[in-house]
Structure 1
């Protein structure tokens, strides 16, 4: 029995819509009191494929982590430049729409867009995203990396649910097709 895979955004943002400061810091996020892992583990079990842009991948690699955080998932990094695949990551320079539609047609769990804003922008423009799960932090950072880039796209959403994790609020939307 085949299960239709969905392309999901699961991300935290400041109340004013930023996912990081201008210098790509997330310190503001870790200063907010959450609850457990704020629903991350539950969400992570629903996906088997992880997508990210090259800037997000480079940021992850620069962190002082013992191992690649998405080691047990298929991980694809979208880039415009040539990059050599690693044991953890396959670099993608293909047509985004064809690649995502191919992934969605395969058997498996859901597909997670880890980041960043530019990759999300291209997915939204092409109407590839099925659901958005945004955890809002009660912080206003004033400027930074916006969650949603200005552009020529319009999406209608339907609220699937909300959850509260102490000071965080998770908003779960489905994209109307």
Structure 2
């Protein structure tokens, strides 16, 4: 069975974006240092957006994910940059009750998110990448099998939390840790 993996950058205090909810990539609290870029290209090349893959000459189809899941706000960051499908090399699903279809290759999931994820997990294939955001991650928390957190050295005090919703208790256990030269710690946890 495929795993649902929440693979995301976070601050030490558990935020995945600033208070404005905009694209945090390359912000001073999420610097894209050469070692971080190399880690992503080596370990998760499929998570690099299509235009960046083309510019970098990345042709590796990826080893971990074949499907990306994201919430409306995360998807709209790509739309604001002119991308109706930032990950054309992956099966792409966006979870939103309000969003109209922007690209025929992107599936809009309007309801029954948990059922849709369970059906995806039961299919053959590579794992499912939950890219964000915090509200979607919280709503799918019972189905998340693995966390891969690129924990940066920053504290920002407020913003979009890793899990944005009411109290729920779920236990995960650490399975791997990689410390990059820049101080970014990649922490991998599996559901206990």
TM-score normalised to structure 2 length: 0.81
Counterparts of 1:144 and 1:97, CA distance in 2: 25
Task: Name the structure 1 match of 2:58.
Answer: none
Partner residue in 2 for 1:50: 68
- 2:136 is paired with a residue whose SS is helix
2:152 counterpart of 1:134 = no
Gaps of 5+ in 1: none
Task: Write the mapping of 1:68-147 to structure 2, written as runs, cut at 5 A.
Answer: 68-81=85-98, 83-84=100-101, 86-124=103-141, 127-147=142-162
Cα pair 1:8 1:133 within 8 Å, conserved: yes
Task: Give the paired residue count.
Answer: 170
Instruction: Tell me the secondary structure at the aligned position of residue 168 of structure 2.
Output: coil
Q: Name whichever of 86-95 and 23-32 sits farther off.
A: 23-32
Determine the structure 2 residue equivalent to 1:170: 186
Q: Give the TM-score of the pair, scaled to structure 1.
A: 0.87
* Relative contact order, higher structure (CA 8 A, sep 6+): 1
More strand by share: 1
Gap regions ≥5 residues in structure 2: 47-61
* 8 A Cα contact 1:85 1:91, kept in partner: no
Superposed CA deviations along residues 60-101 of structure 1, whole A, max 9, x for unmatched, are: 221366x84311000000001252251331111130121011
C-alpha separation between the residues in 1 aligned to 2:28 and 2:111? 35
Residue 49 of structure 2 aligns with which residue?
none
Question: Segments of 4+ in structure 1 off by > 6 A?
Answer: none
Counterpart in 1 of 2:14?
17
Conservation of the 8 A alpha-carbon contact between 1:32 and 1:137: no
Distance in 2 (CA, whole Å) between partners of 1:91 and 1:14 is 29
Would you say the 8 A contact 2:6–2:148 is kept in 1? yes
Q: Identify, as 1 or 2, the structure richer in helix.
A: 2
Cα RMSD for the two superposed structures: 1.9
> What is the CA–CA distance in structure 2 between the aligned matches of 1:131 and 1:83, rounded to whole Å?
30
Kept after mapping to 1: 8 A contact 2:85/2:106 = no
Q: CA deviation at 1:173?
A: 0.1
